[in-house]
Amino acid sequence: MSRSIATRTGDDGSTSLLYGQRVPKDHPQIEAVGTFDELNVALGSVKPHLGTDPRSLALRDLLTAVQKNLVALMGELACAESDAARYAASQFEKLTVADLHRLDREIAELEGRGLTFGGWATPGANARAATLDLARVTARRGERQLTALPAHGRSVRPEVRQFVNRLSDLLWLLAREAEQ
């Protein structure tokens, strides 16, 4: 018989961090991990709106790479501060400066195309743009939660904050491109 996902250990309103420490389900780290899980789903929801042209295929690959980065980010956030060094030494995949640079290159490429926009965006011009904007606002919420974690005793590597900030910017540009 296979193991059930329903462990019932969370019935009391708590959940486990990566190395077993129990925290309330509304703990700031769990809230942040949940937001990045939502972002992962939001990025996945963009994919059905992509075509089969080379640019769409490249965007699909980029979104998939970012989704893998988000899994790594969630793993890092899902351990207690006391286990941060253990996580850093582990073989778990982690966000790197190279991941940040990939986003910077994508932003520069989009800005180099001469996208036109003025002021605040009004999302919803089409389904692709709307899903990208939904992902963007989810990323911004995650960024705010990352910023709050040190006040709750959980440090956040600068590369993680920078990655999420760049990702938000990239998603904004991608949504504007999808509108045009």
DSSP 19: T
Across-strand partners of 23?
15
Helix, strand, coil % in the chain, rounded to nearest 5: 65, 5, 30
Check residue 1 and give its pLDDT.
62
Q: Yes or no: say if 115 and 173 are a contact pair by the CB < 8 Å rule.
A: yes
Please tell me whether residue 148 adopts helix, strand or coil conformation.
helix
Give the list of residues 6+ apart from residue 113 with CB closer than 8 angstroms, or none. 177
- What CATH architecture applies to the domain 25-179? Up-down Bundle (1.20)
Q: Which pLDDT score, from 0 to 100, does residue 8 have?
A: 77
pLDDT for the residue numbered 17:
86
* pLDDT the model gives residue 46: 97
Nearest to 29 by CA among 134, 131, 136, 160: 160
* Residue boundaries of the structural domains of the chain: 25-179
The whole-angstrom separation of Cα 137 and Cα 153 is 25
CA distance 97 to 159: 7
pLDDT averaged per 10 residues in sequence order, the chain, 180 residues: 74 82 88 97 97 96 98 95 94 96 96 79 88 97 97 95 98 93
pLDDT of residue 2: 77
List Cα–Cα distances, 156 to 14, 70, 95, 153, in angstroms: 22, 14, 12, 10
